[in-house]
Amino acid sequence: MRRILVSHYEGLLTRAAVLDGDRLTAFLREEDGCPRLIGGIYLGEIIRGAPGTKGMFVELAGDAKGYLEQSDVLGAPSTAPRPPPFALSKKDSAAAPRPLPPRTRIIVQVKRRPAGSKLLQVTTDVSLAGMLVVLRPYRPIRRITKALKEETERDALHDTLRAIKPPGKAGVIVRTAGRNASAAALAAQIQVLAGLWERLVRAAWEMRGPGLLLAEPPLLERLVRDELGPERTEIVIDSPAALQRLEAALEAAGGKPRAALRLHAAGPPIFHAFHVEKEIENLYNRVLSLPSGGSLVIESTDAMVAVDVNSGSARGGAEALRTNLEAADVLFRQLRLRNLGGLVACNFIGMRDERERGAVEKRLRTLASEDRGNVWVGRIDPLGVAVLTRRAEGEPESALGLVKCPRCGGPGAVVDGVSAAAGLLDALRLKGRSRTIKAKVTTRVMAILARSPAFKDIKAELGRKLAIEELPCGPNADVEVM
């Protein structure tokens, strides 16, 4: 059965682990008060062209700025002063022939948040997601999600789509949750999304300057919209307040998700109770162990991921091939869970035999076909180096809560203060039955804990058993059982 585990610390952090059986398939986190940028829709204003590129800088809201590629400027939304809300012809959905002049106002959506200090990447090709369908106002397409593989099922959905008339030349993509939906249910959600978009367009031209039109919903509400499908799903959550929010989101959802909610009120922290804590910790590790005894080393930068396979006890031949196949499986799993993209270079071991190279290439291409990130896989050279490219979807790896080490300023990464605070709360709950617990935290983490109601409750429950030492620097948080 599919299961979603939700750990929610009010005023601090929400984390969600999506499981297929006992296997972790996605890990999501969101800090309270830090809304998701990707998917947000803004009325932007062109600042100027970007020198040396076919792009433009766009003012969004406040200090936020974006970068708009010329190829992402479609005909209809670039029509001044009042563009139509939906494409009406092929010209409307084609790329605009020339850059837009400064001070032109245009509705854009954040499509990517690059790592580091780079600007948000925005597009005029807006997508509005519902539970069953995605509406594309300026892209006249009719598609079925790639997650549905059965040809008969896809053909039936295409027949259903032909019977639906979206407004203008707007496009529709059927999501996984819409696989068993009727034409009436799909049409009803399309009309809801179309009405929302028309209201946004009207609101945009009443604004006096750039600003936010529509923010992405918080993580708990996005779980209902994006993670629930026709199959039965159990959502286990450790917070009564968050449970009420999920119940309200389920009631308001378009479609009828088959979800059962359950409160995890006692016992160890939820990720420990369901034995997925180790898998989550692996997302933060640079070195990962392989079943056969080898290991995989992952180093990522803004635009490239370097991967090295270490042999362990493998001595070549069948042992090396087994290690390489295991490494390929772990590599694609980590790329997906960490949402890594760009150029990926992987150095396999013992790849001089052409048949073994072919076997590993075949495994890589099979894994690439199952990945949502548009992966291209190249040939493995005689030295064992495979090069592939992957388009990361959604938030970058920094969304896991990793930051540059504040102590040495080196290339390594550590968990940020909010993640350290949540980890400390988990550790205190896990070790709460011990006689004495001593915790060491930095001043910054202590300030974060001070605003958490969960920390106040745990502190009151443990009483004198808990001793906290505040440090000006050092590891973010450390717990010792006496």
User: How far, in Å, CA of 323 to CA of 321, rounded?
Assistant: 5
Q: What was the pLDDT predicted at 437? A: 80
Report mean pLDDT in 10-residue bins for the chain, 482 residues.
Answer: 91 91 89 86 90 86 88 75 73 75 90 73 92 91 84 87 87 88 90 93 89 92 87 90 91 73 88 91 89 89 86 74 93 90 90 88 92 87 91 67 68 77 86 73 85 85 77 62 50
Of 390, 415, 431, which residue sits at a domain end?
A: 390
Q: What was the pLDDT predicted at 78? A: 67
Residue 244 structural domain: 2-32+217-277
User: How far, in Å, CA of 36 to CA of 30, rounded?
Assistant: 8
Q: What was the pLDDT predicted at 256? A: 62
Q: Give phi and psi for 103, each to the nearest 5.
A: 75, 5
Q: What was the pLDDT predicted at 123? A: 92
Pairing of strands 133-136, 120-123: unpaired
Q: What is the CATH number of the domain that holds 350?
A: 3.30.110
Q: Are 297 and 376 in a shared domain?
A: yes
Residue 210 lies in a domain: yes
Q: What was the pLDDT predicted at 84? A: 74
Q: Collect all residues with Cβ–Cβ distance below 8 Å to 424 and sequence separation of at least 6.
A: 439, 441, 445, 449, 477, 479
Q: What is the 3-state secondary structure (H, E, C) of 185-213?
A: HHHHHHHHHHHHHHHHHHHHCCCCCCEEE
Q: What was the pLDDT predicted at 67? A: 92
Of 262, 277, 292, which residue sits at a domain end?
A: 277
Q: How many domains does the structure of the chain reveal?
A: 4
Q: Are 177 and 259 in a shared domain?
A: no
Residue with tokens 């490219």: 389
How many C-beta atoms surround the C-beta of residue 440 within 10 A? 18
Q: Are 267 and 361 in a shared domain?
A: no
Q: Are 306 and 440 in a shared domain?
A: no
Q: Are 106 and 165 in a shared domain?
A: yes
Q: Give phi and psi for 478, each to the nearest 5.
A: -145, 135
Q: What is the CATH number of the domain that holds 19?
A: 3.30.420
Q: Are 110 and 201 in a shared domain?
A: yes
Q: Are 77 and 110 in a shared domain?
A: yes
Residue 395 lies in a domain: no
Residue 214 in tokens: 């529509």
Q: Compute the CA torsion angle 7, 8, 14, 19 (nearest 10 deg).
A: 20
Angle at 224 between CA 402 and CA 28, to 5 degrees: 10
Which of 406, 418, 411, 401 lies closest to 283 in space, CA to CA?
A: 401
Spatial contact of 225 and 36, defined as CB atoms under 8 Å apart: no
User: How far, in Å, CA of 482 to CA of 471, rounded?
Assistant: 19
Of 214, 229, 255, which residue sits at a domain end?
A: 214
